[in-house]
Structure formats: C-alpha cells, structure tokens
Chain A
Amino acid sequence: QKEVEQDPGPLSVPEGAIVSLNCTYSNSAFQYFMWYRQYSRKGPELLMYTYSSGNKEDGRFTAQVDKSSKYISLFIRDSQPSDSATYLCAMSGSGTYKYIFGTGTRLKVLA
C-alpha cells in the first residue's frame, strides 16, 4: 500500500463546475498537507498549504484536512479551462522536510 493514494483520473468537468480532488494517506504522523498544480512540462505551483486539520480557503480554492479519516480534499469552485492541469497532493511529517507526493490527478475543464 502506498503512503499516499490519489486517483490519477483523468477527470473531465464542464466549465463552471465544482471540482473535488482527494487524497488518502496511511501515515498518521503527517502534519503538513499541500496541494500543487502542475501544467504540462512545468514545475509544480503551490496552491494550498495546511498544517494539521481544518479548512482553508483562498479565492476559488478550498482545502480540507480530516486527520481522523486520513483524507484531504481540494475543492475548486467555478472551474475554468485554465484550471486544466495535474493536481498533486503532498504531505510531510514533523521533523522532516521531505514530501510524499500523490500520483497526481489530471483535470480537464471543458469550455
């Protein structure tokens, strides 16, 4: 079993839809939870950063962490074609700066 599981997709949605992206994990020591967006042939871009449990909102993006279920989510409201990319979740525990990445979910927002 991988430490971090993420559905690779692809996930296709119409423009304006609410997108839900998820990751599950097995290591209860994870404390830091990140979401990155990666366009083809580019480096990952940080979208959301959450420490421990709870929700965090930034514009059209909302990140949720449920440590009791070992489950994190990223919601994208009013999705746009420019949101079409691969979304990577990443996690890290206290005392280490190393990230464990999910496999990434390919998202396509159709105009």
Chain B
Amino acid sequence: GAVVSQHPSRVICKSGTSVKIECRSLDFQATTMFWYRQFPKQSLMLMATSNEGSKATYEQGVEKDKFLINHASLTLSTLTVTSAHPEDSSFYICSARPNRGGNIQYFGAGTRLSVL
C-alpha cells in the first residue's frame, strides 16, 4: 500500500511552453501533498504545500504564478510550470501524506523536466 504515482516521468519542452505534472495517491486519501525540487547531488527543496480544496502554501522565494498548484481531489494534485525556461529544468518530486494519521510522506518517482 501507500503508493504515489507521478506522471510524466520525463518531459522535454521548448522554452515558453507550460508543463503539467500530476501526482496521485493510488490507495489512500491525502488532504495534504507536497511539491519538491531537487538539483543534482542535492537534497530535496520544498516548493509548496498543496491542500485539497484550498490554495497552496508556497515557500519563500518560490513564484506562485510560475508554479501553479491545484489540489482538486483527495487523491490528485497537479503542478503546472508556466512559461518554462531553461532555468526551470530540474527534477520535481511530489509526496502525499495519508489522512489516516501520522506524519509520513510517501513520494512519487519524480519528473525530470528539461526545457530547451
């Protein structure tokens, strides 16, 4: 149990286009999901906390208009990178916290974004 599916795993796009990444909890409900960014050989950097039915909470320095988050159901959160530029190229990872309690996060497999 506790599987988080993230799609797509890899995306290559042209500069100026928008990219949507989906994060689904497959066998549990998650009011709270998280979006992270990871640079090579570095740890995970929290970008935002996604809350079902309400606005996401962004970390300091993360552009809300650049990284749009929608958490429309208890099993799905999406991250849209708008007007992507080469500096947005990175590894994006989502996680989900089961509603059943505890403070555990289960992670998706990540999305590697390359902006040309």
Residues B44 and A41 in contact, CB atoms below 8 Å apart: no
* Chain B residue contacts of A104, Cβ below 8 A: 43
Q: Which of B32, B43, B102, B107 contacts A45 (CB 8 A)?
A: B107
In the complex, which residue of chain A has the Cβ closest to the Cβ of B32? A97
- Tell me which residues from 20 to 44 in chain A have a Cβ below 8 Å from any Cβ of chain B: 32, 34, 36, 41-44
Q: Does B97 reach chain A (CB closer than 8 Å)?
A: yes
Q: Which of A44, A51, A103 contacts B93 (CB 8 A)?
A: A44
Knowing A41-B91, A41-B110, A98-B49 touch, does A46 contact B42 (C-beta < 8 A)?
Answer: no
Question: B102's contact among A44, A49, A98, A99, by CB below 8 Å, is which?
Answer: A49
Give residues 68-111 of A contacting B (CB, 8 Å).
Answer: 88, 90, 92, 97-99, 101-104
Instruction: Give the most central of A43, A44, A97, A98: most B CB within 10 Å.
Output: A43
Shortest Cβ distance from residue B59 to the other chain A in the assembled complex, whole angstroms: 9
Q: A41-B112, A43-B93, A43-B109 are in contact. Are A98 and B104 (CB under 8 A)?
A: no
B49 touches A97 (CB 8 A): yes
Shortest distance in angstroms between B41's beta carbon and chain A's nearest beta carbon?
8
Q: Measured between C-beta atoms, what is the minimum distance from B74 to chain A in Å? A: 15
Q: In the complex, are the beta carbons of A88 and B43 less than 8 A apart?
A: yes
Name A residues whose Cβ lies closer than 8 Å to a Cβ of B.
Answer: 32, 34, 36, 41-46, 49, 51, 88, 90, 92, 97-99, 101-104
A-B contacts, 10 listed (Cβ < 8 Å): A34-B104, A41-B91, A41-B112, A43-B4, A44-B44, A44-B93, A45-B107, A46-B2, A92-B103, A99-B105
